A and B are shown apart, each in its own frame.
Chain A
Amino acid sequence: MAEYKLDCLHEVCPIPLLKALKSLEKMEIGDILIMHTDHNCSIANVVEWTKKQGHYIDYIEIAEGEWEIYIEKAR
């Protein structure tokens, strides 16, 4: 089970979502992707898209206007 970090700071839609998509493609089932973002759209569109794809996802606000999104590849 590997852990991947993805720096999406200062990036806006649709870059964070596309970066997540690209990383998930290379990952194995069970691997974790940790996204670091300050774009509040990401906690809506990345979360919605990942859930639709059937992966596990959760996020926390680590500072004012900054989030870490955790995605576990499920399939």
Chain B
Amino acid sequence: MGLYYKIVKKPWPYWVGGILLALLNISLLLITGSVWGVTTGLLYWGLFIIESLGANPASWYYFNVYSPGFRGGYTLILNPHSVLNIAIIIGALLAVLWANQYKFKKIKNMKQIFFALAGGILMGYGSRLSFGCNIGAYFSAIPSFSLHGWVFGVFIFVGAYIGTRILYKYII
């Protein structure tokens, strides 16, 4: 068992990933002054698409009451959220290429398309109601000593429990 196998090919234990994510998030806060989040970047991309289709989301009630944090000087790609999201994709790609595990995933069946789309829409909608996903509103909130991270965490477990039960009983 060489070093290549141990470090590059074999999945790292969860505790190693946990410590690394914590250290990286602390460095991110130190260097940029804000913590890691994912869905806000996706929100910008979504808004860009519907704006190019002719809609005017800036006039929507939601964005007038709750600022999406799109500051002056940000562009679609040149904002911290998009840069981080793209970097995550590049980093993940490098990791699988290095491990020789790159593979195109096919769509299995219509059922998979339906549930993937439905799940994506539900998660996107939920992430806007809670102002973040399991990264921004949970993983980054708890080390910031914010109570909302703990509330989010409790309901992740409730949701995951119910979701898994439904999945196990009726879907797979």
Contacts and interface: CB of A to CB of B under 8 A. Distances in A.
Contact of B112 (A10, A38, A44): A10
A51 interface: no
Contacts, number: 42
Interface string B147-172: 00000000000000000100110001
Given A18-B167, A22-B168, A10 B11 contact: no
Contacts of A22: 168, 172
Interface residues of B, number: 17
Interface string B77-110: 0000000000000000000100011110111100
B102 A64 contact: yes
A62 B11 CA distance: 16
A54 interface: no
A66 B112 CA distance: 20
A38 B107 CA distance: 13
A15 interface: yes
B60 to A, nearest CB: 32
Interface residues of A, number: 18
A5 interface: no
B102 A65 contact: yes
A74 interface: no
A65 B96 contact: yes
Interface string A21-59: 110000000000000001011011000000000000000
A41 B105 CA distance: 14
Given A10-B112, A22-B172, A65-B96, A38 B103 contact: yes
Interface in B1-40: 9, 11, 14
Interface of B: 9, 11, 14, 96, 100-103, 105-108, 112, 164, 167-168, 172
7 contacts: A10-B105, A11-B112, A18-B168, A18-B172, A38-B103, A61-B101, A64-B103
The 7 closest A-B pairs by CB, nearest first: A65-B103, A65-B101, A44-B11, A10-B108, A10-B105, A10-B106, A18-B168
Given A10-B112, A61-B9, 16 more contacts: A9-B108, A10-B107, A11-B112, A14-B167, A18-B167, A19-B172, A40-B11, A40-B101, A41-B11, A43-B11, A44-B11, A64-B100, A64-B102, A64-B103, A65-B100, A66-B103
